[in-house]
Structure 1
Amino acid sequence: MRPYILLSMLILPLAVFSQSLQHRFDSVLQGYHQQGQLEGTVLVARQGKIVYTGQFGYANRQFKVPVTADTRFPIASISKMYTAIMVLQLQEEKKLDIDQPVSAYVPELLPSINARISLRQLLVHSSGLPSDKVPDYTTQSIKQPGAFIRNNVKDTLLFTPGSRFHYNNVDYILLGAVIEQVTGKKWGQVLQEKILTPLKLTSTGIVTQQDIIPKLAYGYHNYTYGPGTAMDTLHNDEARYLENYATAGGLYTTAAELFRVDQALYDGLLLQPASLTEMYTPVKELGFLKYARGFTALGSYVNRLSSIKPGGDLTVIERRGNILGFNSCLLRCVEDRNTVIVLCNTYTGNMEKIGDDILRILYNPPTHAHIKK
């Protein structure tokens, strides 16, 4: 048999499989879009290679500006992953130790009762600090994390630090103050130097209320979380100083640039192997978190999902983000180097369900009979 004939016989099934995979993604995701439950952008990668991208709906509904591949979305708490990366980078540089108390770096910032909280407890939301409140983001712009903490954190604890899990944006805003203290730079500059510039991310930055950010999606909401319909009324997001979320939720990006961060973690461009192991290790002593479907870790959650992968459970590093109409998820199957990114600007879809449906397609390839059809 001639070599080029043999090569074509090998390539053709792969091409047909790829087309079938794209068709299956399109069919499911268009279904969600037509039901009014998906507006935004989706990126799926298999073994580090992008196998699907899709855009749905409008970045601006008033002027009917469609979502495109380079539309930028506020990613809310997915920002916490970037903060965890920066903190671990600074630990690698011996500028901090995550097992040291916060008071070792910002001794006068927290009230005295909170002095024993460690950086690790902030990273896994076991600090015991009280939660932030909506007025903290609607009254004025507070661009410095330290100023936010001084204005909004009181001399109180909800529980003994390290004893249980309590999700809290304040934990990660405080980490931003530590980053600024140990580097002598604004956290945005540290982000630029350690992540954005090395990875050449030009469509990632900090959302600020007063700035005009090119290609930034508008937010819309009705908080149906999945069971709504395309006929439901959407409302404009109210003005909010997203920059106050800072290192807890102040970033915007595109699907492609979030994917570049995902790949950089695999390729050792951001963190050393020991730091990656530390970031991915679930903190089981804080208990299983039903809403997160797994255990807390540094900047993300470690889940084991059933009914997704044939022959066993699937380990997923999961990070979601939501604020107002912006609703996003990042699913990282590190054992297989598979990635799912969904960035939305309407709070109408169930990210957990959409993400799981994408993973089922990825892990359950069509049969030969299906491919032939």
Structure 2
Amino acid sequence: MKMNKVNVIIEQIDFSGTVLVKRNHQAIQQFSNGYANRSYEALNNEQTRFGIASGCKIFTAVAICQLVEKGQLSFDTKLSDVLDITFPQFDRDITIHHLLTHTSGIPDYFDEEVMEDFEELWVKHPMYLMRSGSDFLPLFLNEPMKLGVGERFHYNNAGYILLGLVVQEISSMRFDEYITESIFKVAGMEHSGYFAIDALPNNTALGYIDNEDGSWRSNIYSVPAKGGADGGAFVTVEDMYRFWKALYDFTLLSEQMTKQLLTPYIHTDDDYDRFYGYGVWIDIHDSNITKYHVMGYDPGVSFHSAYYPESDEITVVCSNKSEGAFDVFKAIETM
């Protein structure tokens, strides 16, 4: 009956994507629905790669923690001391910690408190030119601070763009190369990567935007040509499970550094006991952490994934539609 409830939601919203739920490393649910490519009627399957938008901010945070662990950086390092880039109106007291926790106060290139349509960004800055972190700098480089440093939580993509540039500067590697070598390969995520949307590998789902009149279009003109530190990686559901497992097995970071990554540093929402660590959302109930989770939304992309420490359960919901992942995720969670 519980599975029927999920099926009802899938049918109601016409879910397109793949789902994996494991408890104690055993799969208790795994299914796919919809098309990875509607034109060719190619079905989504268990090995399909999906874009996860901002869901990959946690990869950036892990990369920073690895560099801190190696002694090449600290969370108190000031942005102005590590990047040789002039930000005319930025506060010079902004630290790596502030960027990781969305408390830097810098302007965002896509401010969800101001803008609603992500596609508006590409009117003046064509999306096909956005292929690296430095390509985003003109969108916020000369803007004034939005808030005081440390004043409050303000979700900020630009902050993670800067963290990606820090990873490049410290490691002397391209950001995507560093993540591939130091995270994906180490965690066994052999099918994941930062793929250009105009050069996708086989079995990768195209993102779809459904219009109100029943027509649809792919998202190739709606998102950056290549993802980076703030979002845009592609993963399979099994690879995302492997990431969580590698994180909790202390394969990616030491136990002490993993605890720092997963510390609830800042309260994010007055209506919920929800906090933010480094690249990860944290839910707390009765003083106990009930869930670590990541999420991502772009035109043609919706994604939710969580680790529940009390039950040792990992849930991954990837969708190649703008909406749907949350509804399926919540239906599974109520089980």
Q: Please report the TM-score for the alignment, with normalisation by the length of structure 1.
A: 0.80
Larger deviation, residues 297-306 vs 74-83: 297-306
Show the counterpart of 2:261. 279
From 298, 309, 315, give the equivalent of 2:278: 298
Aligned-residue offset at 1:244: 5.3
Show the counterpart of 2:132. 144
Aligned-residue offset at 1:141: 2.1
From 269, 274, 289, give the equivalent of 1:288: 269
SS of the aligned residue for 1:265 comes to helix
SS of the aligned residue for 1:261 comes to helix
CA contact (8 A) 1:95 1:182 kept: yes
Task: Return the alpha-carbon distance in structure 2 between the equivalents of residues 239 and 318 of structure 1.
Answer: 29
The size of the alignment, in residue pairs, is 324
Task: Return the alpha-carbon distance in structure 2 between the equivalents of residues 116 and 144 of structure 1.
Answer: 26
Task: Return the alpha-carbon distance in structure 1 between the equivalents of residues 270 and 177 of structure 2.
Answer: 34
Q: Map of 1:45-84 to 2, 5 A cutoff?
A: 45-84=22-61
Structure 1 residue 252 and structure 2 residue 234: aligned? yes
Task: Return the alpha-carbon distance in structure 2 between the equivalents of residues 139 and 269 of structure 1.
Answer: 36
From 129, 143, 166, give the equivalent of 2:154: 166
Task: Return the alpha-carbon distance in structure 2 between the equivalents of residues 232 and 194 of structure 1.
Answer: 43
Cα–Cα, structure 1 residues 289 and 214, in superposed 2: closer, same or farther, change >3 Å?
farther
CA contact (8 A) 2:223 2:299 kept: no
- Structure 1 vs Structure 2: percent identity of aligned residues? 24
Task: Return the alpha-carbon distance in structure 2 between the equivalents of residues 350 and 305 of structure 1.
Answer: 23
SS of the aligned residue for 1:54 comes to strand
CA contact (8 A) 1:319 1:331 kept: yes
**Structure 2: where are the runs of 5+ without partners?**
111-120
- AA at the equivalent of 1:320: M
From 63, 80, 84, give the equivalent of 1:86: 63
Cα–Cα, structure 1 residues 304 and 160, in superposed 2: closer, same or farther, change >3 Å?
same
Structure 1 residue 130 and structure 2 residue 110: aligned? no
Larger deviation, residues 269-278 vs 31-40: 31-40
Larger deviation, residues 251-260 vs 199-208: 199-208
Show the counterpart of 1:4. none
Larger deviation, residues 196-205 vs 117-126: 196-205
- Which structure has the greater CA radius of gyration? 1
Show the counterpart of 1:269. 251
Task: Return the alpha-carbon distance in structure 1 between the equivalents of residues 205 and 270 of structure 2.
Answer: 31
Q: Deviations over 1:178-237 (max 9, x none)?
A: 00001111111111221122233221011313313211111112489xxxxxx9554433
Aligned-residue offset at 1:322: 0.8
Structure 1 residue 211 and structure 2 residue 199: aligned? yes
- AA at the equivalent of 2:330: D
- AA at the equivalent of 1:38: F
Q: Deviations over 1:249-286 (max 9, x none)?
A: 020010000110011111111011111111111124x5
- AA at the equivalent of 2:309: V
CA contact (8 A) 1:122 1:175 kept: yes
- AA at the equivalent of 2:306: L
CA contact (8 A) 1:148 1:244 kept: no
RMSD: 2.5
- AA at the equivalent of 2:221: A
Task: Return the alpha-carbon distance in structure 1 between the equivalents of residues 270 and 64 of structure 2.
Answer: 24
Cα–Cα, structure 1 residues 162 and 114, in superposed 2: closer, same or farther, change >3 Å?
same
Aligned-residue offset at 1:146: 3.1
- AA at the equivalent of 1:221: I
**Structure 1: where are the runs of 5+ without partners?**
1-22, 225-230, 307-311, 362-373
Q: Map of 1:1-373 to 2, 5 A cutoff?
A: 24-25=2-3, 27-111=4-88, 113-133=90-110, 134-135=121-122, 138-150=126-138, 152-222=140-210, 233-243=215-225, 245-284=227-266, 286-288=267-269, 290=271, 294-304=274-284, 315-349=290-324, 351=326, 353-361=327-335
Higher helix share: 1
Q: Please report the TM-score for the alignment, with normalisation by the length of structure 2.
A: 0.88
Q: Deviations over 1:121-146 (max 9, x none)?
A: 11111111112142276344233323
